[in-house]
Structures are given as structure tokens and as C-alpha cells.
Structure 1
């Protein structure tokens, strides 16, 4: 059902939305961190409403990393974009440049006990189609979440890698989980003792194609979420190395979708902030698209996205999500 048929104004706030990008209305892949200077939201700033982004899927490329700020993690204000500077990136207020020559996707931001580190997907140019373009995960470091020094790309399983998630595991070692598009779009993993040198550990999550892994500890278990484009699969582990899917091969959380007026659409690629015995899952949706075929719908409208939040709890050994 199209937004026109339901009487929805796509320029108006979407039901239940937490944040919308004020420049191109394409906030996706959110990652949220709490710092002594407040909360920071980093996200892929897709060019959903750009008047002329280019042909094909150029609107998904040519993106910068958008940044928003908050005092409580719930009410957000746009702060600008991370723009290339000599040797790294810097937060600049306002919209990105009209012309860009590189694509930035899916930031992962962690604190290693000394400084902040960001693991960013970079793609040369502004591709107009999905295949045929190298994708790499590059590390940056920062002391203030505003100025980032480029440390260089990670050596991973292929040159088609995106969507990094990084955590320190029970064995004291760091692991990065990521989507390897050269391996049927499944989750690969690499391990490091020092965050400088990485060694491949093979496939962490296989099976149905997916993207956007995120790993965290909650309620005495480790959890890894993956985005299957129909909701998020949940995987549980005691050691963050061996994973078992919760609920079987078809089970997902945030898989509900429907009429856009209800404000409940499929939950996509997100990140988790743990506070005590509960957690916040920040994820994105397409508010005006229920996931059905776009042939008879307003595709430009359906490109728009919004960041939402859900509460996560562990109940009887299973992860539950409440929008």
C-alpha cells in the first residue's frame, strides 16, 4: 500500500520515530555511544531525498557519516557529518558537500579503555550498481569523538567486506564480526590480541544471507544480532565464539511490518547500548515501506528511513525486544 493511499505525509514525523536525518532523510545503520560529553549517534547518511543523486543505487552510495547529539539517548539533535581531512575525519556542522568522491557506510564505534576507535566501511567513488566494487573496513582513532585519525584498513577475508562490529570477548581477545559479501553475504570473524593485527577465524554465522552483525553481553549470555531484511536473527553464546540461533532458522525479532500509519515496520541493522540488566537496541526502519514490492509505489518516498529504539531483556534465557 503506498503512502498516498494511506493518506500519510512522508515529510511529517513517522509514528514512533526517534530520529530522522534533516538533510537527506536517510539515517541508517545507527551506532550509539555514551561518553562523558553526552550521547553520540553515528549513522550512514543515505541520500534518500537528494534531488539528483545519480542513476541506479547511487543514492545509497555517496554517503557521509552523520552525527547527532543527545543528553539522554532519546532526544537527538543533528550535529553535522564526518568530513575527510588530512590524515583522518573531522566533525563539521551542516550538510555534507554537494559532490563527494567516496562512500562511507556503517560506522562501528567502541572505547578500548584508552581512546575511541571507529571501524568504517569505505568504498571508492559513488557506485550506481551493487556488484563490482571493492569494499573495505578502515579503522580510525579519536580522543573526543569529533576528530578522527586514520589508522588504515583491516586485513580481512576478502575485498567485499562491510558492517564491522567489534567487542572484547571472555577469552580477553578482541573480535571483529562483519558481512563478507564474497562468502554469500554471511558473517565472518577475525580475532586480535592488540587491535593492531587481525587473524581470520572463519565464518561466525552462516546460512541465510544477512548483514549488520552486532555482538554484546546481556543477562549472563553473549548475543549476536544479524539483519535478514525481514527482522533480526538472534544468536546466543557463552564465549562469543560458538553461536546457536534462538528459536530456529526462521525466528527473528522486530519482524513485524504493516500499514505505515501504525508505525511498526521491519527492524533493520542496529546497535546495542547495555545499561545494567536491560539494553537499548537502536535500529532503523523505512517508515513508509512495509517491505512489499515497489513496482506500483513511490520508490523515492520508500527510500526514507528513521531511527527507532527497542528495549532488550533476557527472559528465561531468551532475548526479547519491546519496541
Structure 2
């Protein structure tokens, strides 16, 4: 399928499965399965906001968008998670507000990670004060929330991690029975740090999990008897493999990625970015986002709506002779 984005910047991209109907900026999707169906939580970037502010304000000031599905493939927008009270005290929570446009507040929410701990849901959310217009110089923190129903969330407070420049949490229970939280530490050259917990109540710093080339958006999952971590290198996703979810080895060498394909803007197929994986029986689905009509220019500087807009896609993941492969 070929679409000329210069003629129709709102045209759907090939094989996209979801677009945010408010600002057309669905990014960082996290997908979970619950008793009542599939839920998607995502960063609702303000890609088509008529006046988001200067610089990179359009990627800030974002709420968490929510979509629902019966099969994980056909999605409908539900609404946004909105603060239930002003301020950042421990009593403040988030509430699913259906239908209406997001409430304008001077705070930024990014990249939710949602897990079930066996008793309740937990969300690890990146929070940033205000609506920054530049990338640097603004503290970021990862804050924990809990919920019984995925719609009403109680704020438990920020985690004490390696710096005050941390985003993009990923949490999993590992083979040794301990929980680990991986995250991007921008103060450590944008590499992946890790913290460890026995009970999800207290966390202990455990150094660097993935170093080397700068990256973001770690996600960890088990498939076909092995553990895998995906990281977004802004040119596709690096794959790291482990037997214990503690020691990691990069798949294919320093330059290897999956979902690294891109074409001219008119084709609408671009590199895969920050996503999450749901394992269903022997199949794994990778939900990720792209900027379908992006032309390769610096996104932070572009005023072109068609370059800013994003869409959620899904790929099938398989392990073939020990190697993780992705099929768009």
C-alpha cells in the first residue's frame, strides 16, 4: 500500500491499528489483558494541538490515553486518566474520564507501565512538572499508582531511583522470584538502569542493565524459554537476551535491530519505536508506535503536523533457532 502523504496527511498508514482521535499523537503504548478485555494505555502527545507552545511543548503537557479492545487488534478510544485533585500529594490519584477532551493541567505524563502483581494492578508512570519547551533541564520521576479496576488509580508516590532524570519504567518478576524495574536514566548517558525489590514495596538500586549506545523505552518479557529486553534506539529496537533476566547479551551484535525498516514518507512505513509485548499462549504481540509520514528530520524542530502525528502498530514476535524475529 502506498499513500501520498503530501496529498492527504491524515491518511491511515499501512497496517496501523490505532490512532488517538484527540491529538493524533498516540505513543509509548502499554497493552494488558484483563477479565473484561484488552486495555491500552499510551502517551497522548499533542501532535495536532492548534497551539501547544514553542519548541517541544507538543510532546509535553500530555495525559495518558486509554483505549479498549475485544481482541487486541480493533481498538476504540475511551478517554484519559485525569488527576483527581491538584498538587502531588500521596492522596491524589488518577481517574478515567471518558469521552471528553483531556483536562488542561500544567503537568506532563509519559510512558505508563502497567502490571498485575497477583492481587491488584500497578502503574509506573513518568511524571514531569509543567510543560517544558526544551528537552534538557527538567527533572523527571517514576511514580507508582495502584488500581483494582484499571480505571481508578491511587497515587503511592515517586520511587527513589538513580537520578532525577528517569523515565520509561518496565517491571517484571524474574526467575529468582524478585521483581526488577528497568528504566532510562538520562543522567547516565541515556542507558538502562535497574532496581530490585522482593515485595514491590522497597526498591534497591542495582546498577546498569544495558549500557553502550543511548536508548530508551526498555520492555522485558519471557518467550520460548528465554527472557528478552527490547530497547528503542530511535533507529529500530535492539534485542537483548537472558536466561535469568539479570545478565543480558545483545542479539546480533552492536548494530543489529528489529523493526528498523523505513521508506520515503509517501510509503508510510517507518522505524518501530517504544512499545510493549503481550504473550498469548505461544505467540507474542509487540505493540509499538511509529511516525508514519516522518521524513527523517529532527522531530523536536518540525512544525509539520504530518511528521508529528503517530500511530500504533502491532508485530508478531517469534523465536527462531534462538533468535527473536519480528513480523510487522
The answer, yes or no, to whether TM exceeds 0.5 is yes
Q: Any stretches of 5+ residues in structure 1 without a counterpart?
A: none
Shift of 1:12: 2.2
Match of 2:294 in 1: 289
Cα pair distance change 1:243/1:54, threshold 3 Å: same
- How many residue pairs are counted as aligned between the two chains? 321
Normalising by structure 2, what TM-score? Answer: 0.94
Shift of 1:97: 4.0
Per-residue CA deviations over 1:211-242 (Å, capped at 9, x if unaligned) read 00000000110000000000000000000000
Contact in 2 for aligned 1:260/1:289 (Cα 8 Å): yes
Distance 1:216 1:146 in 2: 24
Question: Which secondary structure does the structure 2 equivalent of 1:301 belong to?
Answer: helix
Per-residue CA deviations over 1:233-272 (Å, capped at 9, x if unaligned) read 0000000000000000000000000023433210000000
Shift of 1:296: 11
Distance 2:196 2:231 in 1: 19
Contact in 1 for aligned 2:5/2:11 (Cα 8 Å): no
Match of 2:150 in 1: 145
Q: Any stretches of 5+ residues in structure 2 without a counterpart?
A: 86-91
Q: How does 1:178-257 map to 2 (within 5 A)?
A: 178-257=183-262
Distance 1:264 1:97 in 2: 29
Per-residue CA deviations over 1:90-135 (Å, capped at 9, x if unaligned) read 0001244453111000000000000000000000010010111110
Match of 1:166 among 153, 162, 171: 171
Cα pair distance change 1:37/1:244, threshold 3 Å: same
Match of 1:71 in 2: 70
Match of 2:16 in 1: 17
Contact in 2 for aligned 1:48/1:303 (Cα 8 Å): yes
Distance 1:36 1:150 in 2: 23
Distance 2:262 2:149 in 1: 38
Question: Which secondary structure does the structure 2 equivalent of 1:170 belong to?
Answer: coil
Question: Which secondary structure does the structure 1 equivalent of 2:58 belong to?
Answer: helix
Match of 1:93 in 2: 98
Match of 1:52 in 2: 51
Alpha-carbon RMSD: 1.8
Question: Which secondary structure does the structure 1 equivalent of 2:306 belong to?
Answer: helix
Shift of 1:41: 0.4
Shift of 1:278: 1.7
